[in-house]
Structure 1
Amino acid sequence: MPHLTVEYCTELADDLAPRELLKALNRTLIASGLFSATDIKSRAVALDTVLVGDGAPDRFVHIEVALLSGRSIEVRRKLAEALLASAETVLDETAQRPLQVSVEVRELDKECYAKRVL
């Protein structure tokens, strides 16, 4: 834990290096001191069909982090802000404007989560 998912519009494919963005976000998660590197599972998902409002512009990146329950709202808020700053640093170097970037840190119920390392 955590699971990190980056969703982005396929329009950004030429501007965005998803693996580099994931690396930067993973470094931020590790630097938080909340997780060990081997516990972080990250993936980037390109979305073919998107619409923002009336369709102008349709360029966005959404970062979702799913954590096991139990951390305070303040800890989750700080984590969201740190991830947003990290993403902005990477995207400032690559992505065309305008671009919306959002981060959501949500909880997974510990009692309903199962994991094994095989």
Structure 2
Amino acid sequence: MPHLTIEYTRNLEDGFALAETLREVNETLVASGQIRNEPDLKSRIVPLDDYVVGTGAGARGFVYCVLRVLPGRDDATKAALTERIGVVMRNRIPRPAGMMVQLSVEIVEMHKPSYVKEVLPA
């Protein structure tokens, strides 16, 4: 915990520095002071090959970020975390000419009684 998943439509791939984006978003989340143990933050970025945005014609794409955390943070803290992610993504997401690009960021609380995490021995 926490887990960050970033999904993006494949039509945004050109110029999208994926590894650098993950590194920067991890750094900004750790810098927030809300991640007690930095190795607990697990992030991934996932391209979407099959997607539909609305029903209209024209080039469209999106990036959807979800940060899954255990319960205990107030709304202001959650909003600050989503804003940190949003700042990084606004600076990193390509904006191809003529394409509508949407960004969404949310926090989802995990169910603590059913969540299991352990570090496996070598």
Query: Do Structure 1 and Structure 2 share a fold, with TM-score over 0.5?
Result: yes
C-alpha contact (below 8 Å) 1:24/1:87 kept by paired residues: no
Q: For the residues of structure 1 that align with 2:103 and 2:20, how far apart are their CA atoms?
A: 16
Normalized per residue, the structure richer in helix is 1
C-alpha contact (below 8 Å) 1:24/1:90 kept by paired residues: no
C-alpha RMSD over aligned residues: 1.4
User: Which of residues 87, 110, 114 in structure 2 aligns to 1:112?
Assistant: 114
User: Which of residues 75, 99, 102 in structure 2 aligns to 1:100?
Assistant: 102
Is 1:8 matched up with 2:8?
Answer: yes
Equivalence map 1:20-99=2 (5 Å): 20-35=20-35, 36-55=37-56, 56-91=58-93, 94-96=94-96, 97-99=99-101
- Which consecutive unaligned segments of at least 5 residues does structure 1 have? none
Aligned-partner SS, 2:60 = coil
Report the count of equivalent residues. 116
Residue by residue over 1:25-69, the C-alpha shift from the partner in whole angstroms, topping out at 9 and shown as x without a partner, is: 101111110113211100011000111111434211111100011
Q: For the residues of structure 1 that align with 2:111 and 2:10, how far apart are their CA atoms?
A: 32
Structure 2 residue identity aligned to 1:115: K
